[in-house]
Structure 1
Amino acid sequence: MSEFAPRALFAPATILSRAEAQDIAQRALKNSPAPETRVTINSAARADTRFALNQVTTSGENSDTQVTITAYDGNRAASVNTNRLDEASLAAAAKQAYEIAKLVPPNPERMPELGAQSYPAARERVITMPTPAERAAAAKIVTELARANDLIATGFIECRAGATALANSKGLFAYDSSSAVTMTSTVRSPDGTGSGWACSDGNGFGDLDPQALAATAVQKAKDSRNPVAIEPGRYTTILEPTAVGNLVQLIAGAMQARAADEGRSFFTKPGGGNKIGLKVVDDRITLISDPADASSTNGGYDDDGMPLEKVTWIENGVVKTLNYDRYWAQKQGVPPTRSGGGGFRGAGRSLRMLGGSSSIADMVKGTERGVLVTRFWYIRPVDARTILYTGLTRDGTFLIENGKVTRSIKNFRFNESPIFFLNNLEALGPTIRINSSENLSAGGSVWMPPIKVRDFTFSSLSDAV
């Protein structure tokens, strides 16, 4: 069922409307003694259900509105947060912010506040939150299938709705609302040797598919029991979409123009400058951020209030743009990048990698010997100049022999860069929406395909399941 359709068991999310946010912003601005003021409002509602040992263990809901008042005194700035929305409290916060601003060192890179901006018309969308009964029913689908197969299911359902607003003393007012849901489950065998994982992600609760999630996690748990060790090394590797997202989103995070121009990045061009216009990965790779992909109803805006636009980061393997904030864009004489922060970052942001037509089954059939990876975790940086990271496989790692998945294998530690393996690309599958965050919190949207690559580097074995 689409998230655009209201359901009787759902309750409207308790987030601020545009009119309510504008009223709070106007009252805060009116009471600010500073020469220049910015007001940022975050209104959020959250509902979650956790299950473990094949039963629901916790269920909770909360909502809050936070107002951040930033006062400017020339190039000096200070911010004060409050969740008290009466006029006296807003005035006190604004006064305190201004008094602190007078004391802090000036910021030589501070950009002036923007004036009023033009934003796209809001997309019609009903933002609702599921009841505890709805969430419990979804969890039950997983726990019952696990119990029927003598397995143990744990998992988490998180539903978020939010409204944000930004206003300043130059007449700018921006408002946006969004919602996102994530359901994850890890299913394990009683002896602890098998572990399967699956995730379902979307804008609204009706987007979740608990049946498919349960079937995938249970089957992986059964198939991954009693893993065997194989030697670390470089293998032809098939990465499921979540594993692809775990690593490919690290490219977007590294696409900061200033770091590249100052010689601190993979995107620094040898001899000076940056790699815009240069080919860096296989020509089948295209990475974009598009407000249409995100859960936003108003199109979104960046930290300064500029409306977000579709941005192509890499097209057919070639770097098309980098993320220029307003200060660095002015210094370099180019337009700022209206992406919301260099690709994917938080609710309302998005990252999409265009895919192909190969299924995972087809990739397996064409593999003489290789490894199939469900996902990665504990991902940590090693070398920013090559976007090299290390981490571990988890919850279903399998050996492929002569075109078939033949056995479960022990997990590996990897040392790899998405730049490296996207230059060793053999096949891409269809792009789907995933949640690629390591902590798997609901918010934002990431769209990734499964891929098959050559010579993926697994550096050592791990005894973790």
Structure 2
Amino acid sequence: MIAPQQLVEQILARATVDDTIVLVTDASEAALRWAGNSMTTNGLSTSRSWTVVSIVRDGDEAKVGIVTSASVDAADIDGVVRSAESAARAAGPASDAMPLLAATDTDPQWEETAAVTEIGAFEQLAQDLAMGFDGTDQLYGFAHHQLHTTWLGTSTGIRRRFVQPTGSVEINAKRGDASAWVGTSTKDFTDVPGTKMLEELSTRLGWASTRVELPAGRYETLLPPSAVADLMIYLMWTMEGRAAEEGHSALSAPGGTRIGERLSALPLTLTSDPAALGLEYAPFVATRSSSESVSVFDNGLDAGRVDWVREGSVHALAYPRAAAREFGAEVTVPGDNLILDAGGSLSLDQMVAETERGLLLTTLWYIREVDPATLLLTGLTRDGVYLVENGKVTGAVNNFRFNESPLDLLRRVSQAGATERTLPREWKDWFTRTAMPPLRIPDFHMSSVSQAS
């Protein structure tokens, strides 16, 4: 198989249009699955995906053609390049057209080979699970480790490389009719607290030995970090400058955007940071397509820390270079991690101990947007909703459908605990790297009772 660096250079050498961008990603993945207290499957895979972005210019206008291939045969290079160039010539003008960024110093890691994982990454987790398999609770779950090495090259001389590690573990436990879920994200599986996760599952299943039926309504509710992550991710996905400027989103305001508007009395700061310890992501733009928040013309652009919300106020929206120029805004690159912090120090258990009466959620599921203008979301609770009375969990209650807006939740949150790394339940296949605190919402809206388990 041709080396990725050589693939980049050969594509650029064969290009005949004004500008060309090449992205090559070599993926190494390991997976482990278990069901009914027994390991069922494990496996390793490697793959390659490469994309040619061809740009044809006519004055200030630019037309773009994009073709992606998974071929590892060098004989296919010409065909893919010609297809991308033909698509560019036939395309309409791109609304996000900009000059490509000029060459920077070649990444010192450019010539390195792809990073690889192995089944051995799961060794400690497998040992922890083996002890759990000896118990009476039925355990199901999945562990996934990915190392994606990406090389970015452009006809203007940019050469950049990054290795993105992504790992996750989900464990579902069942005892009778009760079920419970825990999950965590990780870079390399050296820090997965397998034994602690199993203990947490057992505790929650024990809580479910007492059942309480509650009607729909507004309840004081403790949202664990996982549930907070799912809600904040959706908020960040909507923080696009163009949509806000044009009045199409919940971040719009008369004559502009809601940047500077106070959302919360608490000093909540919602951040993306490529250098965040344990949650690192590529410190530059490497995208195969354009959207309202990122542009192929910005490939190679440095990506730094962004405070989407700072000290309780809306602070930033995503603007590619073209949108930033159009609206007179600062160029802002969306991030691939998300961290919410308010300086809290309490754990979720300590917040439970301070609760007179309320609900403790586990995870949220099947989240969908109801009203873009207010960012109203609906979804279901899943795998454990628990009643807290006088500082203790006294039983499990039925599941609910909820209706809430993340923006409105930030306004109403009355307490935030200590920020910790977590795994979103709903969005983990698209967004894994998060750190969130537990939040206390005094009146979380459970709109109806759900039969989901």
The answer (yes or no) to whether the contact 2:364–2:382 under 8 Å persists in 1 is yes
Q: What's the counterpart of residue 100 of structure 1?
A: 87
- 1:255 equivalent to 2:239? Answer yes
1:113-262 paired onto structure 2 within 5 Å: 113-117=100-104, 129-131=117-119, 135=122, 138-139=125-126, 141-142=128-129, 144-145=131-132, 147-148=134-135, 150-189=136-175, 191=176, 193-225=177-209, 227-262=211-246
Question: Residue 211 of structure 2: SS of its match in structure 1?
Answer: coil
Q: Is it true that 1:315 corresponds to 2:310 in the alignment?
A: yes
Please list the CA deviations of residues 99-118 of structure 1 after superposition, one character each: whole Å capped at 9, or x if unmatched: 23222233243223222246
Match of 1:403 among 363, 388, 391: 391
Deviations along 1:249-283, whole A, 9 cap, x unmatched?
A: 221111111111101111111x2211111112233
2:12 corresponds to 1:25:
no
Aligned to 1:5: none
Task: Give yes or no for contact 1:27–1:87 (8 Å, CA) kept in 2.
Answer: no
- Alignment of 1:305 onto 2:300: yes
Higher mean alpha-carbon deviation, 440-449 vs 113-122, is at 113-122
Evaluate the alpha carbon distance shift between residue 22 and residue 391 of structure 1 in structure 2; reply closer, same or farther with a 3 A threshold: same
- Please tell me whether the aligned partners of residues 226 and 408 of structure 1 are also in contact (alpha carbons under 8 angstroms): yes
Classify the secondary structure of the residue corresponding to 2:257.
Answer: coil
Question: Which amino acid in structure 2 is aligned with residue 70 of structure 1?
Answer: V
State the partner residue of 2:296.
Answer: none
Q: What is the alpha-carbon distance in structure 1 between the residues aligned to residue 320 and residue 430 of structure 2?
A: 26
In structure 2, what is the equivalent of residue 76 of structure 1? Answer: 63
Q: Secondary structure in 2 aligned to 1:205? A: coil
* AA partner of residue 306 (structure 2): V
Letter of the 1:198 partner, please give it.
V
Question: Secondary structure at the residue paired with 2:212?
Answer: coil
Q: Are the counterparts in 2 of residues 174 and 301 from structure 1 also a CA contact under 8 Å?
A: no
For the residue of structure 2 that corresponds to 1:220, the secondary structure is: helix
State how far apart, in whole Å, the 2-side matches of 1:350 and 1:365 are: 30
1:182/1:435 contact within 8 Å kept: yes
Instruction: Give the letter for the 1:413 counterpart.
Output: R
The alpha-carbon deviation at position 233 of structure 1 amounts to 0.6
Query: How far is 1:288 from its partner?
Result: 0.9
Which residue in 2 is equivalent to 1:51?
A: 34
For 1:44-84, what per-residue CA distance to the aligned partner results, in whole angstroms no more than 9, with x for missing partners? 11110110011111112111111111212222221222233
- 8 Å CA contact 2:50–2:69 kept in 1: the answer is yes
User: Could you report, residue by residue, the CA deviation over 1:131-158 in whole angstroms, capped at 9, with x for unpaired residues?
Assistant: 26x536624523542542x211100000
Q: Give 1:298 deviation, angstroms.
A: 6.0
CA shift digits 1:307-343 (9 cap, x unpaired): 1101111111111111111221011123311x3x3x4
Question: Which range is displaced more, 108-117 or 425-434?
Answer: 108-117
Unaligned runs of 5+ in 2: 288-298
Tell me what 2:418 maps to. Answer: 430
What secondary structure is seen at the aligned counterpart in 2 of 1:48?
strand
The alignment covers a number of residue pairs equal to 433
Residue range with higher mean Cα deviation, 103-112 or 30-39: 103-112
SS in 2 for 1:170: coil
After TM superposition, give the deviation of residue 213 of structure 1 in Å.
1.4
Contact 1:51-1:139 within 8 A present in 2 as well: no
Deviation at 1:218, TM superposition (A): 2.5
Q: State the partner residue of 1:346.
A: none
TM-score, normalised with respect to structure 1? 0.87
Pick closer, same or farther for the CA change 1:121–1:420 going to 2, 3 Å.
Answer: farther
User: In structure 2, how many angstroms separate the alpha carbons of the residues matched to 1:285 and 1:170?
Assistant: 41
Structure 1: 5+ residue stretches without partners: 1-14, 344-348
Give the TM-score normalised by structure 2. Answer: 0.89
Describe the shift of the 1:228–1:175 C-alpha distance in structure 2 as closer, same or farther (beyond 3 A): same
- Corresponding position: 1:446 with 2:434: yes
Tell me the secondary structure at the aligned position of residue 250 of structure 1: helix
TM-superposition CA deviations, 1:176-233 (whole Å, max 9, x none): 11212111100011x3x21111112211121212111111122222322453210111
The 8 Å contact of residues 130 and 205 in structure 1, kept in 2 or not, is answered as no
Preserved CA contact (<8 Å) 1:36 1:71: yes
Residue 244 of structure 1: SS of its match in structure 2?
Answer: helix
**Using a 3 Å threshold, how does the CA distance of structure 1 residues 445 and 381 change in structure 2: closer, same or farther?**
same
Change beyond 3 A, Cα 1:305–1:438: same
> What is the Cα deviation at residue 121 of structure 1?
7.2
Whole-angstrom CA distance in 2 between matches of 1:195 and 1:145: 15
Contact 1:392/1:411 (<8 A) preserved: yes
Structure 2 CA distance for partners of 1:137 and 1:367, relative to 1, 3 Å? closer
Structure 1 residue identity aligned to 2:196? A
Do the aligned partners of 1:232 and 1:460 also contact (CA within 8 Å) in 2?
yes
Q: Distance in 2 between matches of 1:35 and 1:236?
A: 59
Corresponding residue for 1:384? 372
- Aligned residues of 1:119 and 1:307 also touching (Cα < 8 A): no
- The change in CA–CA distance for 1:54 and 1:439 in structure 2 (over 3 A counts) is farther
**Correspondence for 2:250:** 266
User: Partner residue of 1:354?
Assistant: 341
Counterpart of 1:10 in structure 2 is none
| CA distance 1:298–1:234, shift in 2 (3 Å) | closer
Identity of paired residues, percent?
Answer: 30
Residue of structure 2 in register with 1:112 after alignment: 99
Distance 2:385 2:159 in 1: 49
| CA shift in 2, pair 1:88/1:317, >3 Å | same
- Say if 1:427 and 1:451, in contact at 8 Å, map to a contact too: yes
Retained in 2: the 8 A contact 1:70–1:79?
yes
Contact 1:176 1:296 in 2 (8 A): no
SS of aligned partner of 1:211 = helix
8 Å Cα contact 1:141/1:211 also seen in 2? yes
Q: CA RMSD in A?
A: 2.4
In structure 2, C-alpha distance between the alignment counterparts of 1:320 and 1:302, rounded to whole Å: 24
